[in-house]
Structure 1
Amino acid sequence: MSTQTPHISSPSRVPANASPSGDGIVVGAGPVQVDAFIDFLCPFCKQFEGRCGPLLDELVADEAISLVYHPMGFLDGLSTTRYSSRASAASGCASDGGHFMEYLYALFANQPPEGGPGLSDDELVELGRGVGLADSSFGACVREGVYLDWSSYVTATAVQRGVGGTPTVAVQGVAVPASPQTILAAVRAALAGGGG
């Protein structure tokens, strides 16, 4: 292909457990890669997590998949404080603290409505305390916006990959409908085919 892709500037830091490309957080170590492109302000993403989260957790626990979450700042325009990017950045801080999944659940459980300010940085820090991120480094990471440029990178990389909305799910790089049945079928097919 001869089309020029715009250069996406790499973030100054990537969180702990970031994918090799740096644009996601890896949970689990199974042979089949499942990518989930999410936005913490997106109501459909909250529904997706409610419907598909238990299956994904089970597949991770069974060491069938490596789950890569890509927390995007896609819906910044629907909040007055760039909430999507701030929540995404905070999830990077949570990954550093070893509580990414717990924090992800907390963010969806406390999802603010679209169109408002979203949660404040103090509220994001407080959510972290509730899932075991009690040390001051998490609060400092959130308040200083350490991973805001990482959030931009995650979003730009996803858009470059053709992600046009959230939630978007891919199994072994192939987009599948974001339902437990289709995800499970794609994972089983990938496992049966030797994972690649």
Structure 2
Amino acid sequence: MTTVRVVPATAEAWPRLGRVFGPREKNPDSCWCQRFRRHEEPTNRDALRREVHEADPPVGLVALLDGDAVGWTRAVPRSTLPAITEHRLLSRILDEDPQAWWVTCFVVRREHRGRGVGVTLLEAAVDWAAQHGGSVLDGHPVDTDGLARVPSPSAVFTGTLAMFRRAGFAELGRTHPTRPVMRRELLHR
């Protein structure tokens, strides 16, 4: 497999980014990585488009394979995600840290799943958060070993425990038996 290259999700990346979201690209009200945010835009796609065009630093990273967008992740300061900072169960585990970053989701095109694109995006998110002054990068993946059946891709949009472990994250605690909170301490780069 050709090496996956990860780049910031800037305005130049927007035309290719929609391809990552697959059939949802045609549905402007599907998630478009807005699950943990609040916005005033008419659709979730409009909200992500505005963020990608205006955010400094960019709110996400795009995985490219031979110039084609194959994956996406959002990595931002935790304080910018109300659904995380106001989450009752997460607040029992997480400390108050204004420099903490959070990785919210992973979208990998179907034909590229199972090839390490998600781990590559997560490792790039670690570097991204460190470059922008993050103290830690946290996430809330799914422990698929504890599930009764194989989950659908949409059920593991926050990543998997195995993926976070491969990227060097340690478990802080759990909000549910299958929902660990994972952390990677960051060295500023």
Q: Which of the two has greater helix per residue?
A: 1
